[in-house]
Every structure is written in C-alpha cells, then in structure tokens.
Amino acid sequence: MSGEFEERAGGLRERKKQRTRWALIDTALDLFLAKGYEATTIDEIVAAVDVSQRTFFRYFAGKEDVALSFLAEYDQILITVLAERPPAEPPIVALRAALHVSLGAVQDSDEEHTARFRKLRRLIDGTPPLAAGQLRRFFETEQKLATIMARRMGAGLADMRPYLLVASFLTVVRVAFDGCARDEVIDPAAVVLRVEELVALAIETLPGAWSAG
Amino acid sequence: MSGEFEERAGGLRERKKQRTRWALIDTALDLFLAKGYEATTIDEIVAAVDVSQRTFFRYFAGKEDVALSFLAEYDQILITVLAERPPAEPPIVALRAALHVSLGAVQDSDEEHTARFRKLRRLIDGTPPLAAGQLRRFFETEQKLATIMARRMGAGLADMRPYLLVASFLTVVRVAFDGCARDEVIDPAAVVLRVEELVALAIETLPGAWSAG
DNA sequence: GAAGTTATGACAGTCGCTGACAAATGACAA
DNA sequence: TTGTCATTTGTCAGCGACTGTCATAACTTC
C-alpha cells in the first residue's frame, strides 16, 4: 500500500491531486539522482511534470520537502501505535512495538514505493541538506513521542525521564539508518532488519556502557 | 576568554577581521532579537556594520551561521579533550570529563561572551531554522566524537557500539539544552549546571529503562 | 617606499520561495 | 444539460539568500 490516500478515491479532483503529487515526487527523486540535488532546479522538476512552479509550492513546503515528505507517514504510524499501547507495558517495550509496526509498514510497501525508498536512501548520503532534513524530522517525531511517553509514565512536566528515553531510543534508530547508509544497505527489508538488530544490541550494551559512570 | 583567537593579535589585518566578525555576530543577534530572525535581512545587518553584503558571505556560510558559528569553539573543545583522555578510562567517564571541560569554558567566558550566550539561547526558542542548525551541529560533532571513541575502544568499523554510546550521550546533552529552553533557563551557569545534572540522571536511570526490554 | 599578497566593494545574476489575482476545472443541484 | 459554487491552477511580479567575477583598496614584507 503505497499510501492509504489515493486508494480511497474521493473523487476525480482528489485522484488528480494525488497523481500530480506522486509525479512531482518521483520526477524530483529521479532528477536529484541523475544530476544531483543542488544542481536540480524546481523549474526543471515542474517542467518535466508540466505544472507551474506555483503549484509545486502548493504541494510541498520546499525543495527538501518533495524528497522527504512521504516518510511522514511512518512517523505518524510510530506516534499512533505508541499512543495505543497498553499503559502497563514497560516503556521500552512499547517503543519497540511501535517501531516494529512502523517498520512493518515499510516492508509491506508495494514495488513502486520500495523503489522510492531505495532512491531516497541513495540520495540522502552525500546530500547534506537532505540529511539535515531527515534529522529535523526525527526531532519533531521525538517531541511528539516524548509527550505521549510522559503521559504513559505519569510523569510531571519537570520530569525529563520520558524525554530521555524517547530521545535515546530514536537516536539508536537514527544511528542504525546512518550505519545502513555507510555500508550502502539500501534494500528496505535489509534496512528494517538492521534497525531492529541495532535496537537489540543497544538494549544489550547500553545499560552497561552508561552504568560505568 | 571570549575566544582564544582575537587575543593572539596576529597583526592589524587579523585584528580588523576579528573585529568585523564579532561586529557582524553581535549586530545580527541584536537585530534577530529585536525584529525576529526571518524578518531581519542580511542587508540590514551589513548596513548596520557598514560592510558589503559580499563581505558578510566571506565571513559566514549563511544567515544561520552568523548566529551559531561561535558555538563551534565548544564543540572543538569537546573533541580535543576526548581525544586526549587516557585510553584506559571507561568511555562514559571520558565523555563526561570532556563535557565538563567544554562546559567549563562556557562558564569562564567574559561578560561580553556570556551576553551572546544569553541572546542566542533566547533566540533559538521559537526560531525553527536556528534550532535545526544547532541540531545539525550536534550531529557533526557526534560523527567526530564517534570516530575518536571507536579508536579508543579499539572497535572495528562494523562495531556500532561507540557510535551508539556517543550518540546517546550527546542526545542527553541536547535534551538538557531543550529542557533549559522550555523552562527559560538562560543563564549560562544555570544551563551548565542543568546539563551535568541531566547527565547524572541519565546515568542513574537509563540503564534501567533500557534493560527492561 | 615599492612589490606582492589579501581583503573588500560593486555589479550582475541565479534560485528558492511568496502574495495577489484571474482563469480554469471539478462538484453539486436544479 | 446547465448554472452556481468551491477549489485548484497559472501568471506575474517581487523579495531575499547566495555566488561568481573583477577591479580597487588595504595591509604586509622587503
């Protein structure tokens, strides 16, 4: 399911919008890969899709956004699932479960969507603005997850422990993605595997590494 | 010592350069605080300092950089000190020691520099581009520290544990800064205290939080 | 004080991005 | 089908960040 959005055909208008949206995304990704991110202009993208530049900026917040926006879906899954986890569950277990569902959605993507993941992954390495953008997305998700976690843990506003836990958890996930980039692991299934492996490694080694202080 | 750079007067030329540099930084910070970051144009900054726009971009990589660049000094301290710590020391102890030195440099700043910290701190909250920029700086420092840590720990390239430790450590520091921002703690001394407190809290609680998985 | 190096200014241009208004297009009811 | 309405799109004009180029000015060195 490359997106539960264009499936629910809300009408011709909505369908058309989704079509341009994905056309812009795919064209942008291809151009970015072919000529480089910075060397590609918005004008080239919109010319290829045959829409006006103004329309581009009605769909996306900026050049960076056209490449990264479709990842937001998975952040949302993470947030939603964590919020619905049983409150009695240990925090780290709940986080891991939410991550598992989110990564599962990545793995269940159709061919088209998998191709986008691959392209984006190859693209982000060696494109600092995109790497920075992804970093920002992680941070935004962290804020939302931390709020949910604080409620789960019944923590007061001054209690930093939920923030600490969520932030360090997402950091592990991010490090896993970075590692995949470094080792040129681009297949979504392989990436997913590696993320969960690193979370397991973190659970195994982090307590010891931190408690030596 | 607001910077070990302008102290070592390398000649008239060098002194003049440092003077314009700080003039640009201070003017920018003041304007950003007065009118807002986005509402302030580079033209306004350079007009106030009476240099050309072109000169501005010879000193700084961009609008964001003029506000954040002077923090780089402290990242550098962190890196240098970690590299010089005795290899036998437990990793977390070495990180903590390096952090202590870096934060010590912040506390030992002169009045002028302390004022800059305050301004920047007030500025970053509610200015997403600057917050994102700081996030990026953290990430860059993380990469460098991780490399040093990998060498310290005698870890191979595939071993992610040094990355994991450094990244989670810097995340704790970052969360501490965020907490200061949220609670409007702007005094450098208070910020420093809070960061070290949160690191202590993390050492106390993170192992337990992570090992429950 | 002359020669050489380096910083600065002026100018022109590209590109990302936005506001405003008019034209086109799909939605819906008569 | 047709007319009305809401929404989307294109056009245009403009701002501001940022860069390359080249001449000029400033410091440095001998």
> The domain A67-207 belongs to what CATH superfamily?
Tetracycline Repressor, domain 2 (1.10.357.10)
Q: What is the pLDDT of residues B57-81, one digit of tens each?
A: 999 999 999 999 999 999 999 999 9
pLDDT greater than 60 at residue A46: yes
Measure the CA–CA gap between A22 and A112, rounded to whole angstroms: 11
Looking at chain B, which residues constitute the CATH 1.10.357.10 domain(s)? 67-211
User: For chain C, which bases have at least one atom within 7 A of a protein Cβ?
Assistant: 6-11, 14-20, 26-28
Q: Are A46 and A53 in contact (CB under 8 A)?
A: yes
Specify the pLDDT at position A2: 34
For chain B residues 77-106, those near strand C by a CB cutoff of 7 A are none
Q: What is the pLDDT of residues A87-108, one digit of tens each?
A: 999 999 999 999 999 999 999 9
Measure the CA–CA gap between A194 and B96, rounded to whole angstroms: 29
For chain B, give the mean pLDDT: 93
Distance of CA B20 to the CA centre of its chain: 21
pLDDT greater than 60 at residue A62: yes
Specify the pLDDT at position A1: 36
If one counts every other C-beta atom within 10 angstroms of the C-beta of residue A3, the result is 16
Residue of chain A minimizing CA distance to B208: A207
- Rounded to an integer, the average pLDDT of B135-153 is 97
Output the CA–CA distances (angstroms, integers) from residue B188 to A32, A72, B83, in the order listed. Answer: 43, 36, 25
Say if the Cβ atoms of A167 and B171 lie within 8 Å: yes
As a whole-number percent, the residues of chain B with pLDDT over 90 amount to: 92
Q: Are A91 and B209 in contact (CB under 8 A)?
A: yes
Cβ of B53 near strand D (under 7 Å)? The reply is yes
Cβ of B52 near strand C (under 7 Å)? The reply is yes
CATH architecture of A4-66: Orthogonal Bundle (1.10)
Cβ of B9 near strand D (under 7 Å)? The reply is no
pLDDT greater than 60 at residue B155: yes
User: For chain D, which bases have at least one atom within 7 A of a protein Cβ?
Assistant: 7-12, 15-21, 27-29
Specify the pLDDT at position A10: 76
Measure the CA–CA gap between A82 and A89, rounded to whole angstroms: 11
Instruction: Enter the CATH code of domain B67-211.
Output: 1.10.357.10
pLDDT greater than 60 at residue B5: no
Q: Which residues in chain B (99-138) have CB-CB distances under 8 A to chain A?
A: 132, 135-136
Closest approach of chain A CAs to the CA of B212, in angstroms?
A: 7
Q: What is the pLDDT of residues A146-185, one digit of tens each?
A: 999 999 999 999 999 999 999 999 999 999 999 999 999 9
Q: Which nucleotide is nearest to A13 (CA to C1')?
A: C26
Q: Are B130 and B67 in contact (CB under 8 A)?
A: yes
Looking at chain A, which residues constitute the CATH 1.10.357.10 domain(s)? 67-207
Residue closest to A80 by CA, chosen among A110, A101, A49 = A101
Specify the pLDDT at position B19: 97
Measure the CA–CA gap between B35 and B53, rounded to whole angstroms: 19
As a whole-number percent, the residues of chain A with pLDDT over 70 amount to: 95
As a whole-number percent, the residues of chain B with pLDDT over 70 amount to: 95
- Rounded to an integer, the average pLDDT of B4-27 is 82
Specify the pLDDT at position A213: 65
Specify the pLDDT at position B213: 65
**DSSP class of residue B71?**
G
Cβ of B133 near strand D (under 7 Å)? The reply is no
Looking at chain A, which residues constitute the CATH 1.10.10.60 domain(s)? 4-66
Cβ of A40 near strand C (under 7 Å)? The reply is yes
Each as own residue / partner, the long-range contacts of residues A3-12 (CB below 8 Å, 24 or more positions apart, any chain) are A3/A70, A3/A73, A3/A113
Specify the pLDDT at position B1: 37
